Chains A and B, each alone.
Chain A
Amino acid sequence: MEKKTGTWAVKVGLAQMLKGGVIMDVTNAEQAKIAEDAGACAVMALERVPADIRKDGGVARMSDPQIILDIMDAVTIPVMAKARIGHFVEAQLLEALGVDYVDESEVLTPADEENHIDKNQFNVPFVCGCRNLGEALRRISEGAAMIRTKGEAGTGDVVEAVRHARSVLGEIRRLQNMRPEELYHTAKELQAPYELVREVAETGKLPVVNFAAGGIATPADAALMMQLGVEGVFVGSGIFKSSDPAKRAKAIVMATTHFNDPKILADVSRGLGEPMSGIAVRTMAEAEQLAVRGW
């Protein structure tokens, strides 16, 4: 019987398998091994973590394929990699390399300030960032098979991750209380396709898996996002910019599983050393914020 690859079911299916897990940013094979040994459910292969992208300035692009291939060789868990918003050729390269998921990411400098990648054209699945429900549904209509709230990457400040998760999940709850005829106008307000708006109103959830990202630096941060209702977390700079990455990585994995058990959370949070120092998002100029990228 016929085998079908690159279908919506297998794209969304991989994200289903990542749920309840931690996806960690890594910049080389050694860090990838540390992440896998700590229990990461996937790694994001990068040249620089967001905190360094922020510090170095300039244009941030897709990583050198050699770095991505080295990381793919080092671990058995799925490997994701980032393409610039709208840069469909970077995405083609990543698909050709065989990465398991492409993150069309605001952490890199956007290549197109109007159009995102037409993700339906690819066999490799995509994850995209969002700040609110409308943005999430626009990305899903373009073919994103997984969503992550953006937060503010490279800050170690969880406040934006909380804001974006509350926004997405709150808007879903609002849709659930609407009368059917109100959904048409709401779709217009959200700038999202009506069919997806109606589906969310009926099911009470996004049609794809929803993780949190951007500013998660401690086990308690991860558990906070899980208790708010996301299905897993991305941790970028928070691990490898801390004083004891292996220990912190493992603690964040345990906290993501046992997010509802304060005793375990207290236990795993002990003696982790210094977290990344971070930047309070409140003190940043809007031009320095990455989350506003994406349309």
Chain B
Amino acid sequence: MKIGVLALQGAFREHVEMLRGMNVDAIEVRLPEQLIEVEGLIIPGGESTTIGKIATQYGLIEPIREMVAQGKPVWGTCAGMIVLAKDVGMRQPLVGVMDVTVKRNAFGRQVDSFETDLNIPAIQNGDPAPFHAIFIRAPFIESVGEGVQVLAQLENGTIVAARQGNLLVTSFHPELTRDARFHEFFLKSLTVKE
């Protein structure tokens, strides 16, 4: 299957390399016509205001909404989570399709960026090894709507990963690690079966 990585700004190359390392055909997407050929999309980390503005300028917002409506898997990491959320507490261009309220820069500024291990049953499948999560000026999910499944929380209950049908969001950056379990989960579990 061919997966697109939105390559407007941010850490798109790391996702492309991770996918290619899994023998997945991955392409960088900068223009709407490139979306036609992909069966899934990753919106990477970066600056959500930058990504949203460039996506709007080049007509990518509606085609991504259509992809979501068609049931194709779409995953947002960090800035990508913001771009997919319906509510981020401020006005900025968004795809805005997932029933979550997201708080931006929720942990503070860069000096508060952190890494930690998380237990995420959905991707561990009984594997005892936790997932090493890197949070960079990260957002978190303040509240989820009906039909949203919480996948990962910090010890204090803060929601940092969730799924709604074919949509996946993570506050942290699996693409900055060598652990491909989230990418596998995205490829295997979010594809809507015929």
Q: Are B10 and A77 closer than 8 Å at their CB atoms? A: no
Q: Is A109 an interface residue (CB 8 A)?
A: no
Quick check: which of B35-43, B50-58, B65-73, B186-194 contacts chain A, the rest being far away? B50-58
Is B23 part of the contact surface with A, judged by Cβ < 8 Å?
Answer: no
Cβ of B110 and Cβ of A20 under 8 Å apart? no
CB nearest to B118 among chain A residues: A1
Decide: A21 and B46 in contact? CB cutoff 8 A: yes
Collect the chain B residues with CB atoms within 8 Å of residue A95's CB: 111
- Pairwise interchain contact B115-A253, C-beta atoms closer than 8 A: no
Query: Hey, which chain A residues are within 8 Å of B9, CB to CB?
Result: 19-21, 39, 41, 256-257
B94 within 8 A of A: no
| B114:A3 contact, CB within 8 angstroms | yes
A-B interface contact total, Cβ < 8 Å: 126
Chain B count of residues within 8 A CB distance of the other chain: 41
Please report which residues of chain A, range 1-26, place their CB below 8 angstroms from some CB of chain B when the two chains form the complex. Answer: 1-7, 9-10, 13-14, 16-21
A39, B53: Cβ atoms under 8 Å?
yes
Q: Is A100 an interface residue (CB 8 A)?
A: yes
Interface size in chain A (residues, C-beta < 8 A): 41
Q: B34 to nearest A CB, angstroms?
A: 12
Taking the complex as formed, is B101 at the interface, i.e. its CB lies under 8 A from any CB of chain A? no
Shortest CB-to-CB span from A106 to chain B, Å, is 23
Are B111's CB and A123's CB within 8 A?
A: yes
- Cross-chain contact A125 with B110 (CB below 8 angstroms): yes
Q: Is the CB of B14 within 8 A of A14?
A: no
Assess whether B127 is interfacial by the CB under 8 Å rule: no
User: Judging by beta carbons under 8 Å apart, are B113 and A41 in contact?
Assistant: no
- Residue in chain B with minimal CB distance to A20: B9
Those of B1-35 within 8 Å (CB) of chain A: 7-14, 30
On whether A19 and B10 interact (CB within 8 A), knowing A36-B49, A41-B50, A257-B54, the answer reads yes
Across the two chains, which residue of chain A brings its CB closest to B13?
A: A19
In the docked arrangement, what's the CA distance between A36 and B53, Å? Answer: 10
Using Cβ atoms and an 8 Å threshold, which residues of chain A touch B11?
A: 16-17, 19
Residue in chain A with minimal CB distance to B12 = A20
The CB with the most chain A CB atoms within 10 A, among B9, B47, B49, B110, is that of: B110
Within 8 A of A (CB), among B96-147: 104-105, 108-118, 130, 134-137
Instruction: State which residues 29-47 of A face B: CB under 8 Å.
Output: 36-42
> Taking the nearest CB of chain B, how far is it from the CB of A282, in angstroms?
34
Question: In the complex the two chains form, is B110's CB within 8 Å of A76's CB?
Answer: no
A77's contact among B49, B108, B115, B117, by CB below 8 Å, is which? B49
Most buried by B among A6, A17, A100, A254: A17
Q: Which residues of B contact A39 (CB under 8 A)?
A: 9, 49-50, 53-54
A21 touches B47 (CB 8 A): yes
Q: Is A124's beta carbon under 8 Å from chain B?
A: yes
Q: How far is the CB of B17 from chain A (nearest CB, A)?
A: 12
A117–B11 Cα gap in the complex (Å)? 28
Tell whether A258 is near chain B: CB-to-CB under 8 Å. yes
The answer to the question of B78 belonging to the interface, with a C-beta cut-off of 8 Å to chain A, is: yes
Question: A80-92, CB under 8 A of B: which get 1 and which 0?
Answer: 0000000000000
Give Cα A95 to B109, complex, Å: 11
User: Shortest Cβ distance from B81 into chain A, in angstroms?
Assistant: 13
Known: A1-B130, A19-B11, A99-B109. 7 other contacts (CB 8 A): A4-B115, A7-B114, A14-B110, A14-B113, A21-B46, A21-B50, A39-B9
22 intermolecular pairs with C-beta atoms under 8 Å apart: A9-B115, A10-B110, A10-B135, A13-B173, A14-B113, A17-B78, A19-B46, A21-B46, A21-B47, A21-B50, A36-B49, A39-B9, A41-B9, A41-B47, A77-B50, A78-B137, A98-B111, A99-B109, A100-B137, A124-B111, A256-B9, A257-B30
